[in-house]
Structure 1
Amino acid sequence: MTEPVRTSHRLQLPRDTDPAEVLTMILNVRPTAREDEDGAIEIGDDVRLVPDRTPRGAGRWTLETPRVREDPVPEGMVDSHGYGRAFPEGLPFGVERESLDLAWALARRMYGAVVTDDHVRLEPHPYHVRDLTVTSPHALAPESLAQLLAPLEPEAELDRAPEEISRTGYGLTAPLPGGDVIEVRVGRSARPVALSALEWLGDAVDYQLVHVTADPEEDAIETPDAPTAERWQEAYRRIGVIAGLIAESVGGYVLDLDGLLVDPADLA
């Protein structure tokens, strides 16, 4: 039987990054991951994240994964992760794509970068992902949520009259400069993996906070220009303040779009 082809990519994090924090974040989305006696993290699906133990290797990890590729990105198409640029001969697929996505998310959250097996550097912008979700055991009535957010977002509006809405399945929209908006979408929880041990998760409610840009193609930008980066940062700041207020008011946990937990203290 032919052995599967393997490859490795590098995850470069700040030198002072605590390895325990890396493992904690991975456990948010891969709860069966474990650290072996040498400090390597066994992620699953024959994927490992191995720390560099050399004197100059602080913060550097090697992502060992099966190599699985598909067709390249169509000419002229861009993607936010930079995979089309990094893998012109064929995009990572399956296990390799999932492991790269995880490394990219870790780099985004920890201000790092991914260097591919062909030595292409992918450096996620820290505000590439602005959306947050508050998963809570408590559902606010539409008018209660509107009243809660009014001091922060006085121009926010419910998508329907309160008497026409149940406690889940409604939304609220707040305008941002330049035609962007923040949408607050309230519905039954998607049951994030990071919270799977909670007894109340089956009845939980998600308050999704989504940055909707005026230009839908903006989400595919790999490296934003300065004005775009400023808008992204401001949108994330306002989303973060809303998320923190909801979590403080009704209880629950804040997660980002990659399923990683976010400390509300970091959103103030």
Structure 2
Amino acid sequence: MSPGEQPRTRHRLQLPRDTSPADVLSMVRNVRPGAMLGEDGTIDLGDGTFLEPDHSPRGAGRWSIDTPWDREVPLPEGMVDSHGYGRAFPEGMPFGVERQALDLAWSLGRRLYGAVVTDAGVRLEPHPFQVRDLTVVSPHALAPESLAQLLAPLEPDAQLDEVPEDVVRSGYSVTIPLPEAEEIALRVGRSSRPTALSALDWVEDAVDYELVHLTADPEEDAIEVPSSETSERWQHVYQRIGRIAGLLAETVGGYVVDLEGFLVDPSDLA
């Protein structure tokens, strides 16, 4: 390495062997639309980072993340994080471009049932229901009463929150009670315009139907490895949110995206 050149490192992304490289590229472009595919299958993520497929005989589903090395101070003692970075990088947390590349790999592992192996050999296995929130982005807005009527057969306990007087079709919410003092909040408002949908001509005026899991313990989302009881509860809540999102997408049209900006096929939510 020449003087002044930034050091580099390599992490690994391990996906199921039958994962299509085209699916990986499609998912990457949900959040990095400028990602470029090279002739050898390498995905240029920008900022000097690359996702390289393993072409060896046993390399199906394996990718390397080639990225600049950039670390900051370690995670404070006693603090936990959902990604497991504090455990994997005790000498200093990934920062900047390296952190962004690792976050992308972690998210791909979450969505595609894989794992990340760090440059130090530490394995990170994202829980598939760590991210449970979904948003339906639609060109059509439902009036509060219409949304309440739509939800009633599926969620009879859903409660339309107090609607401000000037609200016609956005800027209101619905609360769906869950066991153990938890809730699903359905918030209707102007769209945040996800990157994955930026090419659509109607997205500037779109409406978000945001479905958020409100846990009884706000610290729960920082758990890296949930207990079997928590895991089962997360799965149940995600499936419930998914059914609502599927109903909304079928009724008002549009697309479903998860909290990290990745598109979700409504057929996977049934």
TM-score bin, normalised by smaller chain: over 0.9
* Preserved CA contact (<8 Å) 2:164 2:172: no
Give the deviation of 1:163 after TM superposition. 5.2
2:163–2:172 CA contact under 8 A, matched in 1: no
Counterpart of 1:253 in structure 2 is 255
State whether structure 2 residue 47 is matched by structure 1 residue 45: yes
Alignment deviations for residues 185-241 of structure 1 (CA, whole Å, 9 cap, x no partner) = 111111100001000010001111001100111111000101101110010000000
CA contact (8 A) 1:142 1:162 kept: no
Once the two structures are overlaid, the 10-residue window that deviates more, 86-95 or 160-169, is: 160-169
Quote the residue 1:95 is aligned against.
Answer: 97
> For each residue in 1:228-266, what CA deviation from the matched residue of structure 2 results, as whole angstroms up to 9, or x when unmatched?
011100100000000000011000000011110000000
2:33 is aligned with what amino acid?
P
Alignment of 1:135-214 (within 5 A): 135-161=137-163, 165-214=167-216
Q: Distance between the aligned counterparts of 1:80 and 1:128, measured in 2?
A: 8
The 8 Å contact of residues 67 and 96 in structure 1, kept in 2 or not, is answered as yes
The residue number in structure 1 matching 2:5 is 3
Q: 1:34 Cα shift?
A: 1.2
2-structure distance, mates of 1:262, 1:169: 24
SS in 1 for 2:82: coil
Q: 1:233 aligns with which of 219, 232, 235?
A: 235
Please give the secondary structure, in 2, of the residue aligned with 1:199: coil
Instruction: Please tell me the residue identity of whatever aligns with 1:49.
Output: L
Report the residue type matching 2:17 in the other structure: R
Answering whether residue 252 of structure 2 is matched by residue 262 of structure 1, we say no
SS at match of 2:99: helix
Flag structure 2 segments of 5+ consecutive residues without an equivalent.
none
What TM-score do the two structures reach when normalised by structure 1?
0.98
Identity of aligned residues (%): 70
Q: Which amino acid in 2 is paired with 1:117?
A: D
Listed as ranges, the gaps of 5+ residues in structure 1 are none
Q: TM-score, normalised by structure 2?
A: 0.97
**What is the DSSP-based 3-state SS (H/G/I as helix, E as strand, rest coil) of the residue aligned with 1:101?**
helix
Match of 1:66 in 2: 68
- 1:58-137 correspondence to structure 2 within 5 Å: 58-137=60-139
**1:108 maps to amino acid:** R
Q: What is the rounded CA distance, in whole Å, between the counterparts of 1:34 and 1:188 in structure 2?
A: 31
- Counterpart residue identity of residue 70, structure 2: V
Deviation at 1:166, TM superposition (A): 3.2
User: What is the CA–CA distance in structure 1 between the aligned matches of 2:89 and 2:170, rounded to whole Å?
Assistant: 42
Q: 1:155 to 1:162 in 2, by over 3 A?
A: farther
